[in-house]
């Protein structure tokens, strides 16, 4: 998502992942999922991801409405805890 291709450049890094053995049925107690899947969100990264995308959309709207120059970039970061995704992103030039 890019608002404008100018400085400053502001980045958002929504993190999201599903960790092994944290899956749960949609109930307020510990209960296995009926479909047998065991991975799930346990650290709030699902909320961080959605919140940061919402924040980026809001900042983009404000920049457009007020004529504020700059570039917004949103880089989703999957497997944030288990696969070292940020290392691969840095190696790929996402800084």
pLDDT in tens, 32-69: 999 998 888 777 777 888 899 999 999 999 999 999 99
Question: pLDDT at position 74, please?
Answer: 92
pTM for the full predicted model: 0.71
Residue 5 has pLDDT above 70, yes or no: no
Q: How far is Cα 26 from Cα 24, in angstroms, rounded to an integer? A: 6
Let me know how long the chain is: 95
Question: pLDDT at position 44, please?
Answer: 77
- Rounded average pLDDT over 4-26: 82
Tally of CA atoms within 13 A in the half-sphere of 73 that contains its CB: 12
Contact (CB, 8 A) for 76 and 49? yes
């Amino acid at each position: 998502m890019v608002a404008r291709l100018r400085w400053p450049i502001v980045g958002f890094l929504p993190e999201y992942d599903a960790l092994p053995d944290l899956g749960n049925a949609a109930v307020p107690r510990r209960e296995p999922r009926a479909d047998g899947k065991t991975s799930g969100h346990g650290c709030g990264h699902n909320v961080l991801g959605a919140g940061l995308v919402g924040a980026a959309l809001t900042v983009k709207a404000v920049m457009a409405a007020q004529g504020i120059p700059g570039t917004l970039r949103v880089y989703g970061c999957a497997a944030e805890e288990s696969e070292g995704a940020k290392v691969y992103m840095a190696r790929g030039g996402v800084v």
